[in-house]
Amino acid sequence: MLIKDDTIAAIATPHGVGGIGIVRVSGPDVEEICQSLFRPAADTGSLRDRYLYHGDIISPETGSIIDEVLLTLMRGPHSYTGEDTLEINCHGGHLILQAVLNEVIKAGVRPAEPGEFTRRAYLNNRLDLSQAEAVADLITAKTDRGRALALSSLKGKLSEKLQSIRSGLIEILTVLESSIDFTEEDMSSGPHRNLSKDVEDVIIRINGILSTYKEGKLFRDGLNAVITGKPNVGKSSLLNRLLGERRAIVTPVPGTTRDFIEETINIRGIPVKLTDTAGVRKSAEAIEKEGIEFVWEKVLAADVVIILIDGNARPTEEDFEVINRNREKRIILVINKSDLPRKITDEELTGMIPGVEPLWISAKYGGGISELKERIYSLASDNGEYIESDIILTNLRHKISLEKTAESLVAAKDNITRENAAELAAFDIRTALDHLGDIAGETTTDDVLDRIFSNFCVGK
């Protein structure tokens, strides 16, 4: 990849109004930009590295003041991008930031592409690729646990682990390659290691990391839980209760919820998107019918379906229709209105969905809600176990590369135990190293980089 050596700029803070907003500039012309646009409040001589200066951004054309700012110059390589970088703290209004950015661009600077600052950081070896990806994950994290995982990757926890696997493989490769040059007698007499066992150990380590992915993905992407049931069973009340606020309209009039209400809650660090749906019933009029058609679509995309039944009413055909439509899904059978007299027997309930234990709750008064959250959590994580691993794999790209690494190592192991196949084994290990290197971005193509960084925001 050719390192672009032009200077780039962007507004690094969100669109909107705030106390301050930051324009970020990076590249070889930063120093020049400072001289032409910045007028320090006090005569300071040349700007010192990483000091905060008070002054004005002025338009060189008209001499007029654009904004009063605080400015920091960070000379490369000791900056985020590794290049000379300028951060201009402006007053946080979009017009102000845009005006300052315009002056910078008029001075010959190019507007940055999404993620371009981080891409430069990666190209200048300030971060490896997995760390660069962690920057995006950190910014978009939906729960504290997701944030902590992203931060640990950014701090290089994953990279360290992969690096140590890498050095192990290089050692094995060295021994293997030297063995190729010797005859069999040399090998059997020399102090050689059990390479097959060594490769097996590496495979086990990689599989250990791979086993954390399922949970990692949950923490990063979360899951979809759809609340479904016939009208008036308390779906909207349940959404409100789980959310801890009145979000959906609750009425005794059936058919009130026709649209979808989606809100995300945090269950033990997992972002769970809850969807309240229209009640399923037969006698619905046109608009409501359409809402009900959508319910089935929503349910299809759900990771978990919460089937809600009114425990204070006799079950009806509509309840069974909801159950039947969800046979293939991961279901939580929830019986609401436990505060009222029960009108369904335990036998009836256990017969409804064999193997699924019904859970009684009161959406109105809060009974059983923490059990429900636990059920959602354990259903999502399959076993309800909290993996205590020092690193957790959250990124699909990393997972695929690790799987390919392991595959090549399995082939290597096979070839090591075969006669006269040492060269093949060495080739397999080199292939494994390439796949492993993809994660840190050692051997990554421009297409992959484009795809990764285009998901970033501008200014990061």
Helix (H, G, I), strand (E, B) or coil at 424: helix
Between residues 218 and 239, which has the closer beta carbon with respect to Mg ion?
A: 239
Please, are residues 229 and 235 in contact by the beta-carbon 8 Å criterion?
Answer: yes
Between residues 258 and 430, which has the closer beta carbon with respect to Mg ion?
A: 258
Residue 14 token pair:
């969100």
Residues linked to residue 331 through DSSP beta bridges, in sequence order = 305
Q: What one-character-per-residue DSSP string does 145-207 give?
A: HHHHHHHHHHTTHHHHHHHHHHHHHHHHHHHHHHHHTS-HHHHHHS----HHHHHHHHHHHHH
Residue 263 binding target from ligand GDP, Mg ion, none, CB below 5 to 8 Å by type = none
Which residue number has the CB closest to ligand GDP?
Answer: 234
Min. distance of Cβ 256 from Mg ion in angstroms? 5
Residue 247 token pair:
């979000």
Between residues 85 and 257, which has the closer beta carbon with respect to ligand GDP?
A: 257
Quickly tell me which residue has 């696997």 as its tokens. Answer: 165
Residue 237 binding target from Mg ion, ligand GDP, none, CB below 5 to 8 Å by type = ligand GDP
Between residues 363 and 440, which has the closer beta carbon with respect to ligand GDP?
A: 363
Min. distance of Cβ 393 from ligand GDP in angstroms? 38
Binding region for ligand GDP (CB under 6 A)? 229, 231-237, 250-252, 256-257, 279, 336-337, 339-340, 362-364
Between residues 233 and 406, which has the closer beta carbon with respect to ligand GDP?
A: 233
Min. distance of Cβ 357 from ligand GDP in angstroms? 19
**To the nearest 10°, the Cα dihedral for 13, 15, 17, 22?**
20
Residue 330 token pair:
């991961």
Between residues 124 and 256, which has the closer beta carbon with respect to ligand GDP?
A: 256
Min. distance of Cβ 306 from ligand GDP in angstroms? 11
Residue 79 binding target from Mg ion, ligand GDP, none, CB below 5 to 8 Å by type = none
Residue 80 token pair:
């985020």
Min. distance of Cβ 348 from ligand GDP in angstroms? 19
Residue 233 binding target from ligand GDP, Mg ion, none, CB below 5 to 8 Å by type = ligand GDP
- Looking only at the bridges linking them, the beta strands covering 18-26 and 8-11 are antiparallel
Q: Name the strands in the sheet holding 18-26, side by side, starting at the edge strand that comes first in the sequence.
A: 38-40, 52-58, 65-74, 85-92, 18-26, 8-11, 110-111
Between residues 120 and 235, which has the closer beta carbon with respect to Mg ion?
A: 235
Residue 459 binding target from ligand GDP, Mg ion, none, CB below 5 to 8 Å by type = none
Quickly tell me which residue has 């009208």 as its tokens. Answer: 231
Between residues 311 and 437, which has the closer beta carbon with respect to Mg ion?
A: 311
Between residues 157 and 235, which has the closer beta carbon with respect to ligand GDP?
A: 235
Min. distance of Cβ 248 from Mg ion in angstroms? 6
Give the closest residue to 28 by CA, choosing from 83, 74, 104, 81. 83
Residue 262 token pair:
């989606």
Residue 231 binding target from Mg ion, ligand GDP, none, CB below 5 to 8 Å by type = ligand GDP
Residue 220 binding target from Mg ion, ligand GDP, none, CB below 5 to 8 Å by type = none
Indicate the DSSP class of residue 278.
P
Residue 30 token pair:
């930063």
d(CA 69, CA 87): 10
Which burial class, exposed, middle or buried, applies to 46 when counting CB atoms under 10 A from its CB (0-12, 13-18, 19+)? exposed
Min. distance of Cβ 378 from ligand GDP in angstroms? 23
Min. distance of Cβ 295 from ligand GDP in angstroms? 12
Binding region for Mg ion (CB under 5 A)? 235-236, 257
Between residues 91 and 273, which has the closer beta carbon with respect to Mg ion?
A: 273
d(CA 460, CA 453): 10
Residue 280 binding target from Mg ion, ligand GDP, none, CB below 5 to 8 Å by type = none
Between residues 130 and 257, which has the closer beta carbon with respect to Mg ion?
A: 257
Min. distance of Cβ 375 from ligand GDP in angstroms? 17
d(CA 44, CA 348): 83
Residue 251 binding target from ligand GDP, Mg ion, none, CB below 5 to 8 Å by type = ligand GDP
d(CA 238, CA 263): 12
- Looking only at the bridges linking them, the beta strands covering 85-92 and 38-40 are unpaired
d(CA 136, CA 122): 13
Helix (H, G, I), strand (E, B) or coil at 141: coil
Residue 363 binding target from Mg ion, ligand GDP, none, CB below 5 to 8 Å by type = ligand GDP
d(CA 380, CA 331): 11
Residue 82 binding target from Mg ion, ligand GDP, none, CB below 5 to 8 Å by type = none
Min. distance of Cβ 234 from ligand GDP in angstroms? 3
Min. distance of Cβ 229 from ligand GDP in angstroms? 6
